Amino acid sequence: MDIIMALRNMAVRKGYMAEAHRKVAKGICETGHLVSLRDEDKALRKKLGLEDTPPTVFAHPEALEQMKRIAAVCGFDKLVASGGK
Amino acid sequence: MAKYAFFLGCIMPLRYPGIESSTREVMKSLGVELVDMQGASCCPAPGVMRSFDQTYWMTVAARNLAIAEKMGMDVLTICNGCFDTLFEVAHKLNHDPELRKRINKNLRDAGGMEYGGTVNVRHFVELLYRDVGPEAIRAKVKGGKNLKAAVHYGCHFLKPSNIKKIDDSERPHVFDDIVEAAGMTSLVYKDKGTCCGAGGGVRARTPDVALKMTKENLVNMTAAGAEVIVDCCPFCHLQYDVGEAQLKEFKIPVLHLSQLLGLAFGLEKEKLGLEAHQIKVNL
Question: If you count residue pairs, one on A and one on B, with CB atoms under 8 Å apart, how many are there?
Answer: 146
Is the backbone peptide bond immediately before B160 cis, with ω within 30 degrees of 0? Answer: yes
String of DSSP letters for B59-105: HHHHHHHHHHHHHT--EEES-HHHHHHHHHHHHHHHH-HHHHHHHHH
Q: Quick check: B56 and A62 CB within 8 A?
A: no
Note the Cα B222 to chain centre separation in Å.
23
Could you give the ipTM of this predicted complex?
A: 0.96
pLDDT single digits (tens) B88-144: 999 999 999 999 999 999 999 998 799 999 999 999 999 999 999 999 999 999 977
> Does residue B273 sit at the A interface (CB-CB below 8 Å)?
yes
DSSP H/E element including B256: strand B254-256
State the total domains in chain A.
1
Cβ distance A79 to B17 less than 8 Å, yes or no, reads: no
Partner-chain contact A37 B14, CB within 8 Å? yes
Residue stretches of chain B with pLDDT short of 70:
none
The answer as to whether A84 is a domain residue is: no
Does residue A20 lie within any of the structural domains? yes
Q: What angle do CA B69, B72, B77 make, to 5 degrees?
A: 70
In chain B, which residues have their Cβ closer than 8 Å to the Cβ of A63? 38-41
Rounded to the nearest angstrom, the minimum Cα separation between A14 and chain B is 11
Q: What is the pLDDT of residue A84?
A: 65
B2-123: CATH topology is: Glutathione S-transferase Yfyf (Class Pi); Chain A, domain 2 (1.20.1050)
Q: Which letter does DSSP use for residue B145 in this model?
A: -
Q: What is the pLDDT along chain A (85 residues), one digit of tens a residue?
A: 889 999 999 999 999 999 999 999 999 999 999 999 999 999 999 999 999 999 999 999 999 999 999 999 999 999 999 876 6
Residues B29, B32, B37, B43, Cα dihedral to 10°: -100
Helices (H) and strands (E) in chain A, counts: 5, 0
What's chain A's Rg over C-alpha atoms?
Answer: 16
Q: How many CA atoms lie within 13 A of B98 on its CB side?
A: 0
Best A19, A31, A37, A48 member to test B by mutation, with max B CBs in 10 Å, is A48
For residue A59, is it within any domain? yes
Q: Do B37 and A21 touch (CB under 8 A)?
A: no
Domain housing A48: 2-79
Looking at residue A83, its pLDDT comes to: 74
- Run of H or E including B35: strand B32-36
Residue A85 lies in a domain: no
Task: Give B-chain residues touching A65 at CB under 8 angstroms.
Answer: 111
Residue of A23, A33, A42 for testing the chain B interface, max B β-carbons within 10 Å: A33
Residues of A in contact with B38 (CB under 8 A): 55, 59-60, 63
User: Would you call B271 an interface residue with chain A, using a CB distance cutoff of 8 Å?
Assistant: yes
Contact yes or no for B134/B180 (Cβ under 8 A):
yes
pTM value is 0.97
Q: Does B278 touch chain A (CB under 8 A)?
A: no
B21 touches chain A (CB under 8 A): yes
Residue ranges per domain, chain B?
2-123, 144-276
- Whether A28 is in a domain gets the answer yes
Which among B53, B106, B272 is the top mutation candidate for probing chain A, defined by the most A β-carbons within 10 Å of its own β-carbon? Answer: B53
Residues 11-50 of A with CB under 8 A from B: 12, 17-18, 20-21, 23-25, 28, 32-38, 41, 44-45, 48-50
Question: In the CATH scheme, what is the code of domain B144-276?
Answer: 3.40.50.11810
What one-character-per-residue DSSP string does B148-212 give?
EEEEE--STTT-SHHHH-SS-SSS--HHHHHHHHTT-EEPP-TTTT---S-TTTHHHH-HHHHHH
* C-alpha B228, offset from chain centre: 17
Alpha-carbon distance of B166 to B153, in angstroms, equals 12
Binary contact (B17, A1; C-beta < 8 A):
no
